[in-house]
Amino acid sequence: MRFATWAVTAALVTTAAVTQASSATTTTTYTHGYDVSWPQCSDSGNGSKAAHMPSGGTYVILGLTHGAGHTVNPCLGAQLSWAKAHKVMVGAYLVPSYPTAAELARAGSGPYGNCGTNDVACRAGNDGSRQAREALDTMHAAGVPAPMVWVDVEFRHKYPWSKNQSVNARVVDGVIKRLQSGGVAVGVYTTSYMWQHIVGSYRVDLPNWLPAGDGKVADAEAKCKTTGSGGVTWIGQYTRSFDENVTCPVMDATPGHPGPLWPYRNTTLTFGASGAAVTALQKALAITNVTGQYDAQTTATVLQWQQAKGLPINGIVDSDDWRALGAFTLVGGHPFLLPKVVAPVS
């Protein structure tokens, strides 16, 4: 999975951590992991044998490409078979690259429109979209059940990025939008330095995967508090024999919290009532004249809303009505986020 010194990497969460993750009170912060990708191919024959694989573990991120766009990881099938045999969950990543002159010439039409001969930005976006489409085709053909695809935006020795940051950004934008339209979640592997130098001011609010650039676990953990592309960081990386990883606190399961209607969920309101509960009701029903008074306008709105919701049409707001408004629903929480990144191989 590594390319040069930097790499997209994958957290390999222990079985115990995943078992415990069903509890919202259990922490999985800084859970350890490894990567598996095209460097884990044998160097004999056609390179179709998975080699130098980690022992044990719960999941791996599989490289769909071979270090650049429009390529295929020759060991993808073998690595997927290894993951299935070892009951290891899998995710996926791709490495985009700046298109060659021939690739730009073939990118005259696509989601960014029909491009003029010299409209490099248009052609770059179309080619980025094509890179993502080919990677998704590879993923689906191999049967990789990844719910998220990570996009590795980093410096390249072969197929280097151009000096035009806006055109580079168009390639990355094309990749991201095509992945999203393909029904997968998207994350970004990069560093703030590489991201800035490659795509300039372009920002995306997507999960980040950030490398520390050394073999220190503490440095990888510290990356959880930073961002590379503008999104929240889910995984930090450090490099020893393998590229190794730690999950960030944001991936932990977190309980929800009461919403603005929660305090009034057991309150009964009728015509003539007043106070904070009425104000909350009026805001929830999008009544333009918020007075805090249960007046004729509020009554009429409540009656219409009750009819639309199939509730008793009586103008009395009780617990059933508050429930229909979402007062009993906790908001802002989420389960352990590992299933957002990887899935079991069937």
Tell me the whole-structure pTM to 2 decimals. Answer: 0.76
CATH 1.10.101.10 maps onto the chain at 262-324
| Cα–Cα distance measured from residue 285 to residue 37, given in angstroms and rounded to the nearest whole number | 52
Give the DSSP H or E segment for 84: helix 76-85
CATH of the structural domain 262-324, one choice from 2.40.10.10, 1.10.101.10, 1.10.3720.10, 1.10.150.120: 1.10.101.10
* Spatial distance between the Cα atoms of 168 and 164, rounded to a whole number of angstroms: 6
Residue 9 has pLDDT above 60, yes or no: no
- C-alpha angle 193-1-130 in degrees, rounded to nearest 5: 80
Residues of the chain with CATH 3.20.20.80: 2-255+335-340
Per-residue pLDDT of 178-218, as tens digits, reads 999 999 999 999 999 999 999 999 999 999 999 999 999 99
Of 11, 98, 82, 87, whose CA–CA distance to 42 is shortest? 82
Which DSSP helix (H) or strand (E) runs through 279? helix 276-284
Distance, CA of 80 to CA of 62 (rounded, Å): 8
Q: Give the pLDDT band (50/70/90) at residue 240.
A: confident
CB 303 within 8 A of CB 313: yes
Domain 2-255+335-340 in CATH 3.40.50.300:
no
Report CA-CA distances (Å) from 268 to 278, 297, 316, 329.
Answer: 10, 18, 7, 18
What is the chain's length?
Answer: 346
- Could you tell me how far CA 319 lies from the centroid of its own chain? 37
Spatial contact of 344 and 89, defined as CB atoms under 8 Å apart: yes
Look at phi and psi of residue 318 and say left if phi exceeds 0, alpha if psi is from -120 to 50, else beta: beta
Q: Are the CB atoms for 70 and 90 separated by under 8 Å? A: no
Report the mean per-residue pLDDT for the chain: 88
DSSP track, 246-262: EE-GGGS-B--B--TTG
pLDDT at residue 46 in the model: 61
